[in-house]
Structure formats: structure tokens, C-alpha cells
Structure 1
């Protein structure tokens, strides 16, 4: 769906540049504290009304499948209500000094609203927690400050990486969980450093990969397609430390980078993994679960429905080898790299 003109207008910054402080420059200094509190009360009432409208609309409107695998209402009224919801959410955050310039982006605000089913108060709580977490973790400078020099050694015991784009223009992330060797991983790095690397890669996606894919596809891209290869994963390998490690990464993804998963294909899922999936699926949000496809070793045709063979590594049934770059999972192939080399 093309972004309406109002989306583009909203995405432009509306700052007057009067202050260099990202947290303070959005306050209205010309009003009293009493007036500010009054405006916040009015905004909260408006937010509650708008949230109700969008959620009711979401339930009532007819749905269709789009070409990216998600189910969305296709209705002009729905679009207007979504724009209104994001605008109101933005007003609430500005009034409460919760919208730094770095995060004043229509699509980022929309992702948090989607994650909380357009409940503006719940989305605000999630937003506040995100800002605090980023400050505590040092996320804003992690791309410059953190050097994961052990990356090559890590990839030998935990193969993963971004490689190419799908037919919708989204970056493809591939992870071979079945080849994870936790003991060897801990010989070359620590869990804390790996988590920093994980966050750093997400930041690269937000600031480099998604914008490059957006430019290449000429449509907004802010989600990825994930291929999770679980060949060799059995229940006995999922030790408590490993489960806790995976859950911590999952929590970061869900809480700090919500709605960035476009689709996931879990491949080479044997009976043991399918049993585990059947246990876990009821605890996963139905909308998120609808994006996840669990396949056995006959996955190639399904992947080729959404990914061109030239963008798929040979070990997944495609035609790419990235031989000059030491293999596909080391190449970081994609529009983001093409643009940096041009």
C-alpha cells in the first residue's frame, strides 16, 4: 500500500531548532504548568477515544492478504484513523517530553502502536521503557563505541548474518541455530558481548539496512524476513542457560525493536522441534504467530516463492555462494552494501 501524502508530511521533523537538547526542545515553554497538565488530561482523553476507534475498526473492517504476507485492513477510513492515532500518540509524547529528535519518526511510532494494538497508554509505557533501556544500555553510541572483534570466530560456532533481500525488498536474516555450539561460543566471547553485538546489528538495520532497502525498493521498508535453520536442534540441547539466553534476546527484540519481523521461516524442523513449537505457539501473540511458518526439510519451494534464487545461499537451495567474501553469512550482501561501495 502506498504511503498517503499525510504520512510523508508527518515523517518530516517539525522542530524550530531553538534548542540543542533533544529531550527539551519539544516542550512548549510558553504555557504554565497548570495549563500543561490540563493539555495532558485533554490529550489522554483524546488518546483513549482514538485508541478505541482504531481497535474497533481493526475488528470490524474486512481484511485481505497483502503481498508481504501480513493481514491488514484496506480501507480509507482505516488509514485516516491510523494517521490520527499516530498523530495523537506523538502529541502525547511531545507534551510529556518523551520524544527525542532521534525517534521523532512516523513509522517508529506506528510500530510501537501496533505492538500494543493501538492502545496509546500501553504504547506510551512501552515507549518510556524503551527510552530508559537505550540510555542504560548505551544504545545510541553502540555503533561507534563497540568493536565486536571476535565476529569471525563467533560465526564459526554460531553461523548467522544478513544476506540479500526478499521479493518485497526486505533484508533477509539467516541464523543456523542447529549449529550453535554454546561451549565454543563462550570460548571466543561472552554472553554480554554477544548481546551487545546483537543490539548493534539491530541498530545497523534501523539506520543503514532499512533505509538502503527503502531506497532500492522505492517503498518503505522497516521489517526483515528471517530464516531460522533448526536442523539438529533437539530438546535435550535446549539447556536452561541456553533457554535464558534466547529469551533475553527475544525480550530485547520484542520490547525495543517491536514489529520489525515481517516473516519467519523455521526450516528443517523435525518431530522434536515441532513438539516444542506446539507447546510454545499458544503463548505467542496470534498476529506474530501468523508470520511464522514451520517447515521440514522440503522448504526450498516455499522459500523460492518469496525469495529469488540469486538472493538465497546455496546451502538453502539458492544459487549464491559469495565465494569472494568467505561465504554468504560473512558477506553482508544487500543494497546497504551496494550503496556503501558506490
Structure 2
């Protein structure tokens, strides 16, 4: 047996054995590869499922907090160029590093970069001189309760697009009593404080409620009984100062204005008022007579419109519509999210990816390239900006009503007592 085992193997037999060993090796290798692939597929499947579960969990949060950012690619590109120019000139405090704020200034100057930059620089200087950055905590308009009594005005609800609705009842102004409880300078400060409050609270809350970017208002001015005698020298001065503050420092915040109950006296006055306004503003203003209700209801739901304007709301539980400050900014859940900054803008990047691809000299026809462009657009870090010190008392909390304590105060008689108050007709 031992000799037999020791016999030399014929070449053909040896080759056959070698082929058999190779086949066995290949089969074993394939089995191992198949096992690895199965493990890989299982692991990948588990990973994808975990991502899907995480995505489902996250999507609930994102869908609840995301709002639509309606910047088109051309606007976004213009804003980015404007932003870089501001950074180079050290004109971009972190507080104002906001695409929509920059876009408003670009629109106000018809996207002419140098003019928009000058307007922006002038705005920053005005804010410093006026104290606008800290006015929400520094200025106490103690006479608010008296002012609102003699000059009915305020926000009430939102229009069908989610914009805050601002109302003034100029025909009910008691100018004599009003001038006994405040001064022109103090009212200007109050006006600026209200604008700051609108940007800090009302616009973010309205944006969250509408799930789209809200940076403009719809305004209703009830001018019943207002005529030329209402527009004396003091009123003209105040109107001019208000209009300059608004157009220079808060541009492009008016979406549309309805002037209602406009009689012959006001229509004559309107020809004078228009001279203080730019063409873009006057194009947004609709002067109506006493049959205005259907026009208002085209843009504002009845339950968001006071009864005295043709709607169905009376706010009896709040003391009346003009003092209720009705709106999503008073919804505790929304206000809490505003306070915590728990919202972000989502942007349609289809056109932006094309710009990113072009800038990176890539062909975006493939899914990989477009994905790379999307990553580039979403992950490009912001350039550093120069911070300015900002007090935190009212910026950390958007509960703005707590920043406006109302207490008794002696009368300020520095405002001429002859003021007739059609004064803020076109102020918002």
C-alpha cells in the first residue's frame, strides 16, 4: 500500500487534481463573497431603515418649524454679492446679517449695488444715532394707553397671505387731547419701537403661522371725516419725518394699503400727501370710498377683519379690535418658538444649484454633480462678520409686551397743541 501510494502520478491525473482544487477554491471564495455581500446588504438595509426612521422623526420637527423662503436664484445671487461688499467695508453687524433685510435695501435701490450700500451705511449710522438697536429695552412709552384712546391704531389679524394687518382710524383722532399726552419726538420713538417689535416678533410669528416668509404688512387707513384742515404745519412735519424714517431705514415693508371712506375733502388732501411719497409706494395704495367692504374681504378673511370694517370679528373679550393686537404673535406656542428661535427658512435650490454648478465649472446634468452643487450651496460657511455689542434683555426674550411697561406719567406739552391728527396716514 505504501509503495502504491508512492507511485508517481501521471501528468493528466495531476492536472485533473489541480483543476479540482481550483474549482473548490473558487466555490469557497464565491460562498464567502456571497456571505459578505449578504452581510453588507443587511447592514446597509438596517442603516437605511434607521435613517428613514430618524428622517421621519426629524421631519416632524422640520415640517413644524420650516417656512418657505421665497428667494429666487437671481435675487439670492444679488444678495450674496451685496453681502460680500458689506463685509469688505465692515458694514455688516451680526444683528443685520439677514438675506431678506439686505434684499429689501437692494429692491429699494433697484439692485444698484453702490446705491444700496450707501443706503445701508446711512441706515446703520441712523440706528446708532437714534438708538434703534436698543430702543425696545431703553424707551418706555408710558403714555401708550392715552395715545391709543385718542388715536385708534394697531395690528389686527393677518390677510389671506399671512401678512399682519395694520389699521388706523384717523377719523376718530382727538388731536387736542393727543397733543396733551405725548410729543412729536416721543411719538417718533414709539413709531420706531413698534417697527422693531414688528421685525422681532410679528413677522417671525406670522412667518411660522403661514409657513412662508413674511416681511410686509397690509395697511388699512379709515379717513372718514379727514380733510384739509387736518393737515396743518405740525401734521405735515410729523408725516414727513415718519415717512423719511420708514423709507430710509425700513424700506419695502408695505405690501399694500387701503385708504377707505375717502370723501372729497380727503381726495383733495391726497393730492398733497402723494408729493411726500415715492412712486413705488403710491402704486401700492388704493383710495376707496364708503363701499370698500368687498374689496377688503378679497384679501382678508371675515374672521380676521373687524366688524366696523365689514368683517365678523369684534374681540369683545379683549376690549375691542383696536386694542386686542390679535394675531399669531399672541399664540403661546408660536411665541415660544419665536423666543427660542425654533424656525428656519427652507429654500427652493433648483435654480441655485445651476448657479453653483456654473461657479464650480461642473456639468449639472448628472445626479452626482447636482448633489455636489447642492452640498456646496448648503454647506459653504458664512464669511465672518463684525459683531456689535447688543444688550440681551429684550433680544433674548421676544415677549415684547414685558418690555413696554405702562405707568402713569406727567403730560409732555412740547408738541404744539394745534396739531390736527391725520398725521400718520401713510406712516406704515
What's the TM-score, normalizing by structure 1?
0.75
Q: Is the 8 A contact 2:205 2:335 kept in 1?
A: no
The answer to whether structure 1 residue 319 and structure 2 residue 315 are counterparts is no
2:148 paired residue number: 155
Distance of 1:156 and 1:312 partners within structure 2:
20
SS across alignment from 1:88: helix
Q: Is the 8 A contact 2:164 2:217 kept in 1?
A: yes
Q: Is the 8 A contact 2:243 2:277 kept in 1?
A: no
Alignment of 1:27-106 (within 5 A): 79-106=72-99
Deviations 1:260-292 (A, max 9, x none): 001100001011211232354466433322211
Q: How many residues align?
A: 269
Distance of 2:207 and 2:193 partners within structure 1:
20
2:116 paired residue number: 123
1:164 paired residue number: 157
Q: CA RMSD in A?
A: 1.8
Bigger relative CO (Cα 8 Å, ≥ 6 apart)? 2
Deviations 1:281-321 (A, max 9, x none): 46643332221110001010000000011111111111111
The answer to whether structure 1 residue 132 and structure 2 residue 125 are counterparts is yes
1:208 paired residue number: 201
- Alpha carbons of 1:283 and 1:332: their partners in 2 closer, same or farther (altered >3 Å)? closer
Query: Per-residue deviation at 1:251?
Result: 1.0
Distance of 1:314 and 1:330 partners within structure 2:
14
Distance of 1:195 and 1:256 partners within structure 2:
13
Deviations 1:155-196 (A, max 9, x none): 111110001000000000001122223221121111111111
Q: Is the 8 A contact 2:157 2:304 kept in 1?
A: yes
What's the TM-score, normalizing by structure 2?
0.60
The answer to whether structure 1 residue 277 and structure 2 residue 270 are counterparts is yes
Query: Per-residue deviation at 1:81?
Result: 2.6
2:36 paired residue number: none
Distance of 1:184 and 1:237 partners within structure 2:
14
The answer to whether structure 1 residue 232 and structure 2 residue 225 are counterparts is yes
Distance of 1:197 and 1:281 partners within structure 2:
24
Alignment of 1:170-209 (within 5 A): 170-209=163-202
Distance of 1:250 and 1:121 partners within structure 2:
23
The answer to whether structure 1 residue 308 and structure 2 residue 308 are counterparts is no
2:325 paired residue number: 332
Q: Which range moved further: 142-151 or 329-338?
A: 142-151
**Structure 2 unmatched ranges of 5 or more:** 1-67, 338-428
Distance of 1:232 and 1:99 partners within structure 2:
46
1:18 paired residue number: none
Between structure 1 and structure 2, the one with the greater Rg is 2
Distance of 1:283 and 1:201 partners within structure 2:
22
Query: Per-residue deviation at 1:148?
Result: 1.4
The answer to whether structure 1 residue 243 and structure 2 residue 231 are counterparts is no
Distance of 1:145 and 1:122 partners within structure 2:
32
2:102 paired residue number: 109
Distance of 1:192 and 1:285 partners within structure 2:
24
Pairing partner for 2:260 from 267, 291, 298: 267
**Structure 1 unmatched ranges of 5 or more:** 8-78
- Alpha carbons of 1:138 and 1:160: their partners in 2 closer, same or farther (altered >3 Å)? same
